Every structure is written in structure tokens, then in C-alpha cells.
Amino acid sequence: MSVADTVITVEQARKTYGGKGARGAAPALDGLDLTVARGTVHGVLGPNGAGKTTLVRILATLLRPDAGRIEVAGHDVVREAYAVRLRIGLLGQHAALDEELGGRQNLELFGRLHHLGARRARARAGELLERFDLTRTGRKAVSQYSGGMRRRLDLAASLITEPEVLFLDEPTTGLDPRGRAEVWQSVRSLVGGGTTVLLTTQYLEEADQLADRISVVDAGRVIADGTADELKAAVGGDRIDVVLRDAGQLGAASALLPAAPGAVTVDADRRLLSAPVTDRMAALTGVVRALAEAGIEAEDIALRRPTLDEVFLHLTGPGDRVEEPA
């Protein structure tokens, strides 16, 4: 990737709330590195408290880093904050829309706040309502919008200024599957228009769906980086899933799988065993034979790639840090 194609550069970013030497405070960013290429969607994936919002706020010039070289669209976020602001859009975790106003009015207001001029603001609001399929909301106040509609309006508002780079901080947290799918569709259409997107998420599926590259963040640093496929491959390639007819035989069957006992996951409800494999065909034939010899009946045996959930667990280690979003 040539330097000209790099739109976001983060080198060794550090931030501790309450100041560098704040006593007892763990750093929110602890030497974080990140590079984002123009016209791509970059996913920042991490659990609660990983440092995602801190990173986005620093990139959007809302928060000063303690240290690091951080550039957005060719400008330093500290020394050239104004130049950065002219080139970015931000969709925060908690967005600011006027509840009493309708979608069109909100967008026109945002346009005026960004010095677009009345006519330009009106035209831009119209374009964005069209693009995010919000024209039929009419005069309905935002307070009556569904979650998905509201997030689409948030997205439209963050695009008023036609930003070169757009930051989306957990754009679909709290949405139902339908709202989520609507927002995904909108994000995909953005990239077609040339916008570079940095998106944070706790949803592995979301990063897998939208992001060209993914940085997995934990405790303020990147612990893995790559395409979804590369991350999956790094975790040890394929897995074998075995569904038994009789849950009572899960223990006996798990001992027959070609993996260390600790590497086998057991899902008793689904009568499912899952284990990493190195040689696909040898594992498949070996497991079929071993089960038959032990008289254990399988309902299904399948080889598959690991899910991003498994990748994430593998990278961050076992623990209770991955919480359900509120």
C-alpha cells in the first residue's frame, strides 16, 4: 500500500484518562497501531472497554492523545485538528438528533450548522433522504422513528458535509436484526461512493460482513490484524463439527477427536462437539471410523472454517470480558 493510499495512520497511540501518570488508571490506549487504505471499510473489533470509542474520539479530534503519531486524510489530529475536522464525519455511539423535528428538518439544520447555506442544505438533505430510503417518513418527528430509521438518519447527518473519512462508533448496537441489515446496506453504499469508513463494533458478524480489514483490539492495543479470512486462518484453519444422536455419549466421543482435550468444545444442548483439525480429509475419515468402532452414532459430521467468534476467543483467551451489549 503506497503512502498516498493511506487515509488513516495511527502509530503507537497512547491515552490514559486523567493524565499520563494518573494513579491506578489503566491506559485506554496502550500503543495502538492502525493503517487504513482509501476507499475501504476498516473494522475495529473489541469487547466493552477495549478502547474503541477512545480511538474514534482521538481520530475525530474530540480528545487529545498523550502520545503517538496520528494522521487522518493527510493531517495531524493534534497540530492540524481543524483541517482534519473539515474532512471527516462522525456517527457517535450516542447521536444528537432533535427529537421534535422530522428527518428532513434535522438534516437541513445540520447542513446550516455546517455553513452550507439554505439552498445547498435543502438539496443535500433531499439527496441523503433519498439515498437512505427515508423519503417516506414525511413530517414524522424523529421521536417516532424506529431504531433502524433513526440510525439511518444519523448516518445521513454524518454525511452532510461529504466527508472523505467517516467514523462509525458501534453503528448497529441496540438494533434488531432488520434495523441492523438496513444500516449494513447503507454502509455498503457509502463505500461505493469513495468514502473511507472506520467502524467499531462488538459484533463479529458485523465486522465479517462489512470490513475489508479488521483490527482486533483488546485493552487498548491491536492484538490481531487482517482480513476476516486471514484472521480465521491464523487461528488454525478448519474445524470439524460432530452432532451426536445421544448427548450421553458426548464425553466418550470427544476423546476420539484428533485434538487436545482442551481444544474440543462441547455444546450439550445441540449434542455438538467441535475441534480444530490440521488435515481435513484425514480428520474426517479418522473420526467417522473411530465413532463407528466405538458404536457411537453421529447425526452429522462437517468440516468448516472457524467463525470470527472462535477467532476472537482464541485471541483474547478465555474469560468473561466479552459482554453482551446493552
Ligand X SMILES: Nc1ncnc2c1ncn2[C@@H]1O[C@H](COP(=O)(O)OP(=O)(O)OP(=O)(O)O)[C@@H](O)[C@H]1O
What x/- string results for residues 251 through 290 when contact with ligand X is judged by CB under 6 A?
A: ----------------------------------------
Single out the segment in contact with ligand X by CB under 6 A; choices: 49-57, 96-104, 152-160, 310-318: 49-57
Distance CA 325, CA 46 (A): 12
* Cβ neighbourhood burial of 260 (10 Å; 0-12, 13-18, 19+): exposed
Single out the segment in contact with ligand X by CB under 6 A; choices: 43-51, 186-194, 205-213, 234-242: 43-51
Q: How far is the CB of 175 from ligand X (least distance, A)?
A: 15
Closest to 55 in 3D by CA, of 172, 216, 211: 216
Would you count residue 53 as binding Mg ion (CB under 5 A)? yes
Q: How far is the CB of 93 from ligand X (least distance, A)?
A: 6
Instruction: Name 71's bridge partners.
Output: 9, 76
Size of the site for ligand X (CB under 6 A): 12
Q: Which three three-digit cell numbers place residue 259?
A: 485434538
Would you count residue 51 as binding ligand X (CB under 6 A)? yes
Binding at 54: pick from ligand X, Mg ion, none (beta carbon under 5-8 Å per type): ligand X
Would you count residue 48 as binding ligand X (CB under 6 A)? yes
Measured from the CB atom, the residue of 16 and 249 that comes closer to ligand X is 16
Single out the segment in contact with ligand X by CB under 6 A; choices: 41-49, 108-116, 147-155, 287-295: 41-49
Would you count residue 46 as binding ligand X (CB under 6 A)? yes
Binding at 73: pick from ligand X, Mg ion, none (beta carbon under 5-8 Å per type): none
Q: How far is the CB of 220 from ligand X (least distance, A)?
A: 7
Would you count residue 158 as binding Mg ion (CB under 5 A)? no
Handedness of CA 92, 72, 165, 178 (dihedral sign): negative
Residue 212 backbone zone (phi > 0: left; psi -120 to 50: alpha; other: beta): alpha
Phi, psi of 139 (to 5 degrees): -100, 5
Residue nearest Mg ion (C-beta atom): 53
Would you count residue 54 as binding Mg ion (CB under 5 A)? no
What beta strand segments (E) does 194-311 contain? 196-201, 213-218, 221-226, 239-244, 265-267, 272-276, 298-304
Distance CA 224, CA 222 (A): 6
Measured from the CB atom, the residue of 53 and 161 that comes closer to Mg ion is 53
Q: How many CA atoms lie within 13 A of 52 on its CB side?
A: 27
Would you count residue 52 as binding ligand X (CB under 6 A)? yes
> ∠ CA(158), CA(159), CA(164), 5° rounding?
110
Q: How far is the CB of 29 from ligand X (least distance, A)?
A: 8
Q: How far is the CB of 215 from ligand X (least distance, A)?
A: 12
First to last CA, the chain: 38
Contacts with ligand X, residue ranges (CB under 6 A): 17, 28, 46, 48-54, 93, 202
Q: Applying CB under 5 A, which residues contact Mg ion?
A: 52-53
